[in-house]
Chains A and B, each alone.
Chain A
């Protein structure tokens, strides 16, 4: 085939992949938005009373009816949903019942800390997990390999909560090396870069430990699979150095299946953030969401649900793009 045609086909395949993913993301967002709307609309509690509070008791039923009508609460449900959606798209997700502030504002403050926590843990999990996986596959059936395999099984079996609490006990309470919670030390001594890093250590470790084992197992398995292929034997037979065979031929190809884990890993980290942020009083979206649920603050719950979905969707999109970039059959150039 002509190279030009080939790259055109590749570009088309990649576009198709991204198009499917985008369509799919829209569907997810639609479901989340309908679910969120239903949560707002059909959970116990009168929205009029929630809006005007105590004064509602002083008003006549006729006045309340007028307010209801003005708020659009008498409209058909699909009209109400449309209105809600239009506001949501403009960034208006309503008011937090507990905090008495716009949901969007509250969430905006919390994105940064969550992003830091999840981002660092993701990078560490990938770098450490892939390294352990490669070393383990290369030294197959050695003591190191067995240790890594058993270790990854154990890491996969410990409740995240427990890992977090044990780290707190060991490194915060007993050894006093790191703070047990929060993002900065309160008062004049806190706020510096070192202080912030110290606060990151335990939550990042908890989130990374339970995530990196999945990368390790995946990388080990896929590299072993590739190493058993004929083209690896050919590469060795024609006298290429072991290093070249391993890195340029085997590892690069094994990455193709490893990178599909990126989407799962995003889901895992977002879910882990609810637990880890709660353990370490980390002021992120996860803890905000859990607190909102416990306080039945539904507008806030809904906002966090939408944001979490956006996080996961962008993770999946990123995974697709990475897959496309690594797969020569989908690469356009």
Chain B
């Protein structure tokens, strides 16, 4: 059995490959760390995630607790209530923390769904080429010329409103850009010598895609995934604002905007706070995505 290189885990070529891969990731990290804006953004995101995870510990009040005392009606931001309260006396900071859980998990899960579909479609098109590629990419083009946001709205109106449905709808309608990026990447990799070699020694299609093509396309996929989280957060906000997103009483950054809008005149902080949170989070994801792009692809140091 000594002819099969892959069966021997202590094979020097394999060890070398493993070291090279580790070095590659270390290189990426080293380049990423040099980008101060990206690192600062990553820190912001870590803080946000911790805040969302430990919301029950940090939150000064129950996010749904209604307090009808007059001093709690639309209270301006203070130490006790950093983001003020709404017209039912609910603590807006507590809602923002719990809202972060909802908004971030919707965006994350939607990203996983869209990245999975996009990677599947893109790698199939790019790897097999020819008619498969033409059909799939025409489909992508057609989908991109549909009024997608309107379709999301219709889908949300037809389905029972729930966080899960919202996540699926966003995920299923936003994979097209990922698929285009993956396709281009896979086409470039498929043309390389090492893939020709893999084909020559008879590695099956599935294994070639999973072991040789996709790991080498990981960089652009991760970048696209990061940017798609940003997009999903904005979409959640837009849908919830129109009343077709996260249903009450669950707080989300989007439905906080919707609630705040009714009291814009007396209590602008109800809109200001969740909007700032969304903007900062999306900005951080965009900066991290941009930093990752430069880190993965130092030759494309651009823009």
Contact = CB atoms under 8 A, between A and B. Distances in A.
B299 interface: no
Interface in B251-303: 257, 260-261, 264-265, 268, 271-272, 274-275, 278-280, 282-283, 286-287, 290, 302-303
A254 to B, nearest CB: 13
A151 to B, nearest CB: 11
Contacts, number: 128
A158 interface: yes
B158 interface: yes
Chain B, interface SS category: helix
A157 B272 contact: no
A159 B144 contact: no
Contacts of A166: 271-272, 275
A293 interface: yes
Contact of A289 (B142, B150, B260, B302): B150
Interface stretch (B7-15, B197-205, B241-249): B241-249
A195 to B, nearest CB: 23
Contacts of B238: 159-161, 275
B74 interface: no
Contacts of A274: 149-150, 153, 242
- How large, as a class, is the contact surface on chain A? 35 or more
Interface string A139-160: 0000000000000011011111
Contacts of B153: 274, 289-290, 293
B147 A267 contact: yes
B237 A153 contact: no
B234 interface: yes
B242 A162 contact: no
B80 interface: no
A271 interface: yes
B25 interface: no
A296 interface: yes
A200 interface: no
Contacts of A275: 238, 241-242
B154 A312 contact: no
Contact of A24 (B138, B272, B283, B290): B138
Interface string A158-199: 111110011011000100000000000000000000000000
A270 B151 CA distance: 13
Given A28-B142, A267-B147, A313-B145, A162 B271 contact: yes
Given A161-B238, A161-B257, A305-B154, A153 B287 contact: yes
A274 B282 CA distance: 21
Nearest to A290: B242
Interface in A57-79: none
Given A158-B279, A290-B242, A296-B157, 7 more contacts: A27-B138, A28-B142, A32-B146, A156-B286, A224-B303, A290-B153, A305-B151
23 contacts: A24-B138, A24-B142, A28-B145, A35-B151, A157-B279, A159-B238, A159-B282, A161-B237, A161-B241, A162-B271, A162-B275, A162-B279, A165-B271, A169-B265, A263-B145, A267-B145, A267-B147, A274-B153, A275-B241, A275-B242, A308-B150, A309-B147, A313-B145
Interface of A: 24-25, 27-28, 31-32, 35, 39, 43, 153-154, 156-162, 165-166, 168-169, 173, 217, 220-221, 224-225, 263, 267, 270-271, 274-275, 278, 289-290, 293-294, 296, 301, 304-305, 308-309, 311-313, 316
